[in-house]
Structure 1
Amino acid sequence: MIKKIAVVGSFCLTALFAALLLMHFAGAFNSLWSGCWQNSTEYERRLTLFEVLPKRFGGAVFLGDSITYAGPWSELFPQIQTHNFGVDGDTSAGLLERIEARGLWRPSKVFLMIGTNDLSLGFSEHKILENILKISKQIKAVSSETEVFIQSILPRGPEYREKIESLNKKLPELLPNEVGWINLYPHFLDAEGVAIAPQFSNDELHLTGRGYLLWRQLINSYVNNNSGSGRMKLTNARITPVSESDWTIAQRRYLEPIKGKAPFYNVSATLARHVEAAEKFNVWAYHIMGESSTLDGRHREMLILRVGWLCDSEYEWGQHKIFARNEGLSEEEIEKIKIGSRAEGWSAIERALIDAADELHENSFISSITWEALAKEYSDQQMMDVVFTVGQYHMVSMALNSFGVQLDEGVAGF
């Protein structure tokens, strides 16, 4: 009996030791697998797909390793065109090589997550940072209009915590202004804050279905254009404001009443170059901003600021911050408009207003859910003015951005 217990105990200890050994060498296994995979014909076969795929411009490209590769992006974002450029086992060096060799086809957006296999393979922090910066610069060099977003490396096991947190801290500090940063890391941590939460990964590396749903939630506003870039489209005017010395009689009639009185002179002096259109344009603008609109000033300015942010219209944002303050919005509330309806503190009707602006921006349509939320407090006329206001300021944003209207003196932008 004692001998039997000893045998069973020995077996249990052996099994426990083997399990601990496997856990300890999990990183080494991943490292070996990544290295072997990158040298395999299967890896090369995957790369050849990018050479023969049709060259569609636009859409969102997802770049990365197996975590990206396994993402069902077309199902997660069915409303837009997505391209999965993830490659199982890839590293920042491998990704840089294939970007330089094969390039991209000028997508609208690129979402990059890379580096976890680099850590398994023993890449230095300096080399990982250097490669990621080179990748982002290479993409911008090919297509300056492409929006590039670098996503943080996700948590893994506790043994990777220090290295991952160091990389995630340094990366955004090094990125150029035209490259965006999305910090996913803290959202995937477990309760102790030391490893990836078990509901998001069952091997401390790859994601579960819940992990991909969380990822979608965190980047949805970036993918679906619900977030502005925070920068002006042009830094020089394409159509310059007409100088007072060059005013025609019609331009003088249009501009004299606001000369030196309004903080929005540049837009008026620019529109004055087509003064007949400007005078007719102002009739509708006076409805949107005037007493005939059924929206209260606070709600109107929330809509306009959200449109300005979505459209990267810094002139519109700067001017309407002034109006928004006059309508009682605090500085904190104005900044929250950049975040959108998910920001804390909005009332139900205010969340619905921001959602309406987002949906009209994305789809030229207010969803049934948002419409019903607005209809709880709004009349038919108010609902119409919501659409009219968002539509008006989309046109204004298009004009301001395309003409290159610059901020007036003393007016702060984004």
Structure 2
Amino acid sequence: MLSFGAMLSILLATAAATRSENAAWQAKVNEFGQFQGHADIVMFGDSLTASGHWQEMSPRLSIINRGISGERVDSALLRLDQITVARPRLVFMMLGVNDIRRSISPDDVAASYGKIINRLADVDRIFVQTTLLTSDVVHNAAIKRLNSALAARCSQAANCRFLDLNTALSRDGRLRPEFTTDGIHLNGDGYRAWEHQIRPIIASISTPR
């Protein structure tokens, strides 16, 4: 059993990490608030989205990246104005893995996701991309339940489409090792495979910047 001092040290370290995460999140939100403008496409999500070079993948279209490392669904709900202010034609969203890793119920995550979808009713088309599988089979069991719930939620909104990425990026129920750096995040090949899946959708927008 841990001593009181050891337990206190763990609690203090956890609190410090939480404060650091909150400060980094707030700084990123503030940064996004300083740079607003119209975009054809908004990429919205956590670190998986944040690390993608989306504009370079489609240079003839205006694409803004509104991913934040460590983002969870409930905190994403607080910054939907970063989407609406851009008046995009398409929104691609991917969230959920950080919630699952913190043992949040897939049903609770999907319920919060549903609130995001409802609040983006004025966007032409929302693409809810599957939460990507990881190399962890325990997390993946919850992610699969989440994706089933997200598909059901998305089907209830006229402007929402559910987009399966796991078929292309996973194998044998796990994220393909050649596409990842650590079992969660993607390398360049992983982003190229992701881009290949959404390319036909993006190509449907013919108006250049």
Q: Could you say which TM-score interval applies, normalised by the shorter chain?
A: 0.7 to 0.9
- CA 38–85 in structure 1, closer or farther in 2 if over 3 Å, else same: farther
Are the aligned partners of 1:59 and 1:81 in contact in 2 as well (CA < 8 Å)?
yes
Q: Is the counterpart of residue 83 in structure 1 residue 80 in structure 2?
A: no
- 1:149 is aligned to 127
Q: Is the counterpart of residue 139 in structure 1 residue 132 in structure 2?
A: no
- 1:112 is aligned to 93
Query: What's the C-alpha RMSD, in Å, of the aligned pairs?
Result: 2.3
Could you tell me how far apart the structure 1 residues matched to 2:83 and 2:49 are?
Answer: 19
Are the aligned partners of 1:37 and 1:43 in contact in 2 as well (CA < 8 Å)?
no
| CA positional deviation for 1:120 | 1.0
Q: Is the counterpart of residue 42 in structure 1 residue 21 in structure 2?
A: no
Could you tell me how far apart the structure 2 residues matched to 1:37 and 1:207 are?
Answer: 26
- 2:46 is aligned to 65
- 1:370 is aligned to none
Structure 2 SS opposite 1:181: strand
- CA 145–165 in structure 1, closer or farther in 2 if over 3 Å, else same: closer
| Alignment match of 2:176 (pick from 187, 197, 218) | 197
Could you tell me how far apart the structure 1 residues matched to 2:181 and 2:110 are?
Answer: 28
- 1:164 is aligned to 143
Larger radius of gyration: 1
Are the aligned partners of 2:90 and 2:124 in contact in 1 as well (CA < 8 Å)?
yes
| CA positional deviation for 1:146 | 2.5
Q: Is the counterpart of residue 121 in structure 1 residue 117 in structure 2?
A: no
Structure 1 SS opposite 2:64: strand
| Alignment match of 2:189 (pick from 210, 223, 239) | 210
| CA positional deviation for 1:65 | 0.3
The AA in structure 1 aligned to 2:124 is T
- CA 224–114 in structure 1, closer or farther in 2 if over 3 Å, else same: same
Are the aligned partners of 2:32 and 2:82 in contact in 1 as well (CA < 8 Å)?
no
- 2:202 is aligned to 223
Structure 2 SS opposite 1:83: strand
Could you tell me how far apart the structure 2 residues matched to 1:183 and 1:213 are?
Answer: 15
Structure 2 SS opposite 1:122: coil
The AA in structure 1 aligned to 2:149 is K
Could you tell me how far apart the structure 1 residues matched to 2:24 and 2:153 are?
Answer: 34
Q: List gaps (5 residues or longer) in structure 2.
A: 1-13
Cα deviation code 1:227-255 (max 9, x no counterpart): xxxxxxxxxxxxxxxxxxxxxxxxxxxxx
- For 1:141-290, list aligned pairs within 5 A: 144-156=122-134, 157-175=136-154, 176-190=157-171, 193-225=172-204
| CA positional deviation for 1:59 | 1.1
| CA positional deviation for 1:62 | 0.2
| Alignment match of 2:76 (pick from 95, 102, 126) | 95
Percent pairwise identity: 23
- CA 37–186 in structure 1, closer or farther in 2 if over 3 Å, else same: farther
- 2:8 is aligned to none
Q: What TM-score do you get using the length of structure 2 for normalisation?
A: 0.83
Q: What TM-score do you get using the length of structure 1 for normalisation?
A: 0.43
Structure 2 SS opposite 1:199: helix
Q: List gaps (5 residues or longer) in structure 1.
A: 1-31, 227-361, 365-414
Could you tell me how far apart the structure 1 residues matched to 2:181 and 2:123 are?
Answer: 38
More strand by share: 2
| CA positional deviation for 1:188 | 1.3
| CA positional deviation for 1:178 | 2.0
Runs (4 or more) in structure 1 with deviation over 6 Å come to none
Cα deviation code 1:335-372 (max 9, x no counterpart): xxxxxxxxxxxxxxxxxxxxxxxxxxx379xxxxxxxx
- 1:248 is aligned to none
Structure 1 SS opposite 2:127: strand
| CA positional deviation for 1:204 | 0.8
- CA 109–101 in structure 1, closer or farther in 2 if over 3 Å, else same: closer
| CA positional deviation for 1:40 | 3.2
| CA positional deviation for 1:118 | 0.4
| CA positional deviation for 1:145 | 4.4
Are the aligned partners of 1:113 and 1:151 in contact in 2 as well (CA < 8 Å)?
yes
